[in-house]
Amino acid sequence: MHDAIERRGLVLLGCGKMGSALLAGWLKRGLAPGKVWVIDPHPSDWLKGMDGLHLNAPLPEHPGLVLIAVKPQMMADALPTLAAMGNGDTVFLSIAAGIPIRTYLDLLGSGTPVVRAMPNTPAAVGQGITAVIGSPGTDDAALAMAEDLLSAVGQTVRLESEEQMDAVTAVSGSGPAYVFHMIEALAAAGEAEGLAPDLALRLAAATVAGAGALAMDATEHPSELRGNVTSPGGTTAAGLGVLMDESEGLVPLLRRTVEAAAARSRELGK
C-alpha cells in the first residue's frame, strides 16, 4: 500500500457495494483496518463488525486519499465536510457516476488533486475494468496511486480527456446490464426451442462468461474467434446471419444502445 496512505490514512466517503468491494480488495492486499476511516450513514454489518476500522469517527486532517463513493444526489451535502482537506496533497478519487471534475474543484478548491474514475460491477468479483482521468493539476504519482488502488478489483485504463468518460460510462459502466439482458434473451430463446428454464439460463450464462474469458485471454481479435466457431453453411453461420444483419442486427442495435446511454451521461453531467 502507498506510503501516503500508510502514514496518513485513507477515507471512504460512502461504502456501498463498490466501496466495499474496493475496501475488501485493499484489506486483502495488506492494508490495516486502522488506516481506514469510513463515513457512511447506513453502514453494513460487515463494516460494523470490522475490528480497528474507524467508522463515522473524527477524520484525520490530511489523509493520503479520500475515496468519494456516495450517490451523486448526496454529493452537495457530503463534500463540504471535506473542504478543509482540499488545495493540499490529499488525493480525491471519485467513483460517483456523472459528476464532473469541475464540481469537485468548485467545492474543494482549484488546487485539489482529483481523479475521476468509472468502475463497473464485475469489480465485485475482481473482474472489473475502471477508466481514470485526472484534473489538470493532478500529477502522475497521484494517478498511479489511484490506478494501483483500483487495480485491486480488476483492470484500469487511463483516458486522454474527461469528455471520453461519457462513452466509457455507456460501454463499460452500463455494459454489464446489456450483457445480463443478453443472457436473459439467450435463455428465453433456448426455452422457446424446448429447453427447461433453469437449463437454458445455465447454458446462456456459462456461454457468455466462457466466451468473455476466452476473448480476454486470446491473442486473436474477437472477429477471428468468431470465425473459428463458424463453419460455412453450419448452425453458427445460420444464427449469425440474423445477428449480423446490417439494418436489424446486433451492430446497429448496440450502436443505438450506447448512443442513448452516452447522451444520458452527458445530460447528467451538466
For 142-187, the pLDDT digits (tens) are 999 999 999 999 999 999 999 999 999 999 999 999 999 999 999 9
- b/e per residue 122-159 (b: at least 16 CB within 10 A): bbbeebbbbbbbbbeebeeebbebbbebbebbbebeeb
Contact yes or no for 134/104 (Cβ under 8 A):
no
The superfamily (CATH) of domain 3-162 is: NAD(P)-binding Rossmann-like Domain (3.40.50.720)
pLDDT at 186: 98
Residue 242, burial from CB neighbour count under 10 angstroms (0-12, 13-18, 19+): exposed
Contact yes or no for 150/116 (Cβ under 8 A):
no
pLDDT at 72: 74
- Tell me the CATH architecture of domain 175-268: Orthogonal Bundle (1.10)
The answer to whether 3-162 and 175-268 have equal CATH topology is no
Q: How much of the chain exceeds pLDDT 70, in percent?
A: 100
- 25 phi, psi to nearest 5 deg: -65, -40
pLDDT tens, 84-100?
999 999 999 999 888 89
Q: Give the model's confidence band at 239: pLDDT under 50 very low, under 70 low, under 90 confident, else very high.
A: very high
How far the first Cα of the chain sits from its last, in Å, is 35
Question: What residues does each domain of the chain span?
Answer: 3-162, 175-268
Q: What is the pTM of this model?
A: 0.91
Instruction: Please tell me whether residue 39 adopts helix, strand or coil conformation.
Output: strand
| Whole-number Å distance between alpha carbons of 66 and 114 | 10
